[in-house]
Each structure stands twice: as C-alpha cells, then as structure tokens.
Amino acid sequence: MSDDLRITGGAGGVEVAIDDLRRAATTIRNIAEAVVRVTPRDASLELPAPTVGMGGADWGLGARALGAPIELLPLVARCRHDLAGVISDVAGAVVRLRQLAESASSSAATYEWGESAVRGLVAGLHAQAVATAWLLTEVTGQSVGLLDEGTGWDVEVTPAAPLAKVPTPTSTASLLVGVESLGRDGRVRVVELPAADGTTTWVLQVPGTHAPGLQGWFEGGEVPMDWPANVSLMLRATSASKVAAAKALDLAQAGRGRPGDRVVIVGHSQGGIVAAALASDPSFTAEHRVSHVVTAGSPIDAFPIPDSTSVLSVQHTNDAVPMLDVVPPPDRGSWTTVAALAPAGVLAHDLRGYVTTAGRAQRSGDSSLRQWRAGLAPALAPAPASTAVVHEFRTRRRWQNRDS
C-alpha cells in the first residue's frame, strides 16, 4: 500500500515528552528530599555508644542506658558502625538523585529551546511567504480580478435534501466519508448526534474546493468553496466558505443546541482550512465548544488552534496541497498529524485515498492515535435508542455590488 504512518505530535510527541521530563525531574527531586527527611544524620544520635572500650569496667552504664543485657553492647557498636555506613550510602544516593533531576530538567529545557528556535525560524519563513502571496494577490486582484474574493458579498444558506444516504459518524474514517457524499454545489452538512453522556455532538462537515469553469478563478462565483476563497482563508483567515459553514451550524442548532455541546468540524482540502479557521476564531469559539477538528489534505499547520481543541490532520506526503503553508506540522499534545504516501490507484489529493489512510490511523497502535481515538469516542458514542439528525444546506455567495 504505502510506507508506514509517520506520526507527529499527540501523546507520543516532543511537547508531551518535554512535559514528561519535567514531571520526572520534579518527582526525582521529591524522592531525594523525602529520603533526606527520613534518614538520620548521625548514627550516634540513634544508638548510644559504649562509654569505655570492649574490656572496660564501665560497660554497665551503656547497658543500663539501653535497658539491655551487657552482652548486647558489642552488637550495638556494630550496628552503630553499620548505620553510619548506610547513612553515608544514602547521602551519596541523594546526591545522585539530585544530579539526575537536574539532568532531566536541563534536557527538557534544551529540547524546548531547540523546538522554539525551529518554530521561530519556520514562523519567519511562513510570514515572508504569506506577505509575498498577499502582495501577488492584491496586484492580480486589482488588475485582472484573479483569485480576488473581494468584500462586497454575503452568503445565503438554505436547507436542502441530502444528495445521498448520510453515514452516521462512528470513527475518523466515517467522518471523512460523510464529507465525500456532499457533492460539488456548495453544500455543507451538520449531523446532530445525541451522545451517550447526555450531551449533543454537532458534526460540521465541509467539502473541498470546487468551482465551475474559469469563473472559479476570478472574483469568486456563486459557489463559496472556490479558489479565491482558498486564498482568502490562507491570507486573511476568512472567506465566503467559512461564513457558509458557520451559518449552517447556527441554523442547525437554532432552538436545539445547548451550551457545552461539542462541535466536531471535519473538512477535506479547503474544508479543512475552514475547520482550522473556525477553531482559531475567538468569536466563533466563544459561541461554540469546538472539541475536535479533523482535516484531510489541508494546509492548516500555521493556524493558532487552542489546546482545548484536539486536532487530527491527515496528510499525504506526495500531496502538495498540505505543504502550501510552508510550515511543518506542530508538535503539540493536542495536535496529531498523520503522514503517509497516498494509497496506490488514487490521486494523492483524492478524498477517497484520505479515507483509506484515516482507516489505517484508526487501526494503528501508536500512542498518539490511541489518545486521539479515546478522546473522540465520547463525542461519537450514541445515546441508547437515539437517531442522528441530518441537517444539509445549500450555500451561495450573493454579491451586493454586482449582478449575480
């Protein structure tokens, strides 16, 4: 099929390893101090010494002090000698424990410094790339309208009958299968799942880029998920497609949603960028608890998604689209990236291939992926005898300053 899955971040990532090193250092320090507290400092304070040598006449004082027969005094002397040796050994062990704690703490700081330096360098490269792309799109947009979404638009969102049978989400792979069935006419879907824990999970599914003909490259057309929206999302973190998805969720939740309900956002290609943009938007997360984001073939690595949201990003190493943000996947405990070659027989960016790769991730024993599955499971576990409710919408970009 392809090479093995390459996992970045999550429970097995560097950020978690650094935290583990710090916790280990703290634990070792605490052990060292506990040993110090329970270890006597001087054997003479614990066992009385005989007042005279082995043949002296004053042994009786020592015996009376101990309240023991005089024959035991040689044993007391031997115990005192042995205890002094134990105290010395323990003191040496405490020194070594403290050195080990310092080494673990220093290693954590070194790892963190290295990660921070790399992140800083990458962030600078990303900023330069974005500035260049912004300049190019501004020039081409003003001169010929190429990839220019503009600002004089709104998005119309209306309920629509599903084009196909909608699978109930039960896993990462089935979440992406739902995106595959959305079609190519600006549709967005919200699946309402009554969960076993008494809450409701709202699965927001957003498709990838699709636009008919050349109009999809100029000024933006009726379908919000076009190429100008792609560029706008990457440069400005907003677009007609993002607005369409947010409006669809609000319509689905009207009169039905409750504070604290989970929102799971799933997207392929541009749909994944929409998911990351929504999860990074404080105004959106103030209204919605985004518990999970699942993306496939999406360049989302530079989005500032908070740690309160668990992210799974699936990327094919022979797909250029996830690399368009020119940054490597973040190595964070809340963010897991799965990278692999696309399955044979499909295009690298094809959603069907990503569904297959997500299925492989679902079966993997990797610690980061086990953590991801454990976190996602309560969101998708259905309440007894419950039925998922499908809310599907047709979305259209409507221009306010030109005929559309």
Per DSSP, what are the bridge partners of residue 221?
none
The residue-averaged pLDDT of 319-339 equals 89
Q: Residue type for 95, please?
A: V
Query: Could you give the CA distance from residue 354 to residue 322 in angstroms, rounded to a whole number?
Result: 12
Which range, 100-114, 132-146, 365-379, is most confident? 365-379
Per DSSP, what are the bridge partners of residue 399?
153
Written as one string, the DSSP assignment of 9-33 is: EGGGSHHHHHHHHHHHHHHHHHHHH
- pLDDT classification of 115: cutoffs 50, 70, 90: low
Q: Report residue 109 as tokens.
A: 């700081």
The residue-averaged pLDDT of 271-292 equals 97
Q: What is the pLDDT, as a whole number, of residue 138?
A: 46
pLDDT over 70 percentage in the chain: 60
- Residue 383 DSSP label: P
Query: Could you give the CA distance from residue 380 to residue 193 in angstroms, rounded to a whole number?
Result: 7
User: Does pLDDT of 38 surpass 60?
Assistant: no
Per the CB < 8 A criterion, the answer to whether 47 and 76 are in contact is yes
* Contacts with 51 (C-beta within 8 Å, 6 or more apart), sequence order: 58, 59, 61, 62
* Contacts with 303 (C-beta within 8 Å, 6 or more apart), sequence order: 237, 276, 277, 279, 280
User: Does pLDDT of 259 surpass 60?
Assistant: yes
Q: What is the pLDDT, as a whole number, of residue 399?
A: 72
Q: Residue type for 57, please?
A: A
User: Does pLDDT of 59 surpass 50?
Assistant: no
Report the candidate in 129, 131, 116 with the shortest Cα–Cα distance to residue 330: 116
Q: What is the pLDDT, as a whole number, of residue 57?
A: 45
Q: What is the pLDDT, as a whole number, of residue 241?
A: 93
Written as one string, the DSSP assignment of 133-183 is: HHHHHHHHHHHH-BT---SSEEEEEEE---SSPPPPP-SHHHHHHHHHTT-
- pLDDT classification of 64: cutoffs 50, 70, 90: very low
Q: In this structure, are strands 335-340 and 6-9 parallel, antiparallel, or unpaired?
A: antiparallel
Query: Could you give the CA distance from residue 54 to residue 386 in angstroms, rounded to a whole number?
Result: 87
Q: What is the pLDDT, as a whole number, of residue 378?
A: 97
- Residue 48 DSSP label: P
The residue-averaged pLDDT of 219-242 equals 80
Comparing 198 with 217, the larger pLDDT belongs to: 198
Query: Could you give the CA distance from residue 95 to residue 38 in angstroms, rounded to a whole number?
Result: 15
* Contacts with 349 (C-beta within 8 Å, 6 or more apart), sequence order: 269, 297, 316, 319, 320, 321
Q: Name residue, tokens 């429970």.
A: 11
Q: Report residue 297 as tokens.
A: 């073939």
The residue-averaged pLDDT of 186-201 equals 96
Q: Measure Cα distances from 10 to 78, 106, 245, 375 in Å.
A: 56, 23, 27, 11
Query: Could you give the CA distance from residue 66 to residue 49 in angstroms, rounded to a whole number?
Result: 10
Per the CB < 8 A criterion, the answer to whether 235 and 226 are in contact is no
Query: Could you give the CA distance from residue 393 to residue 207 in angstroms, rounded to a whole number?
Result: 12
Helix (H) or strand (E) holding 60: helix 59-66
**Mean of all residue pLDDT scores within the chain:** 77
Which of 132-136, 148-152, 211-215 has the weakest average pLDDT?
132-136
Comparing 137 with 238, the larger pLDDT belongs to: 238
Reduced to 3 states (helix: H, G, I; strand: E, B; else coil), residue 309 is coil
Q: What is the pLDDT, as a whole number, of residue 274?
A: 96
Which of 217-231, 290-304, 343-357 has the weakest average pLDDT?
217-231
Which residue ranges make up each domain of the chain? 15-114, 119-399
Comparing 293 with 162, the larger pLDDT belongs to: 293
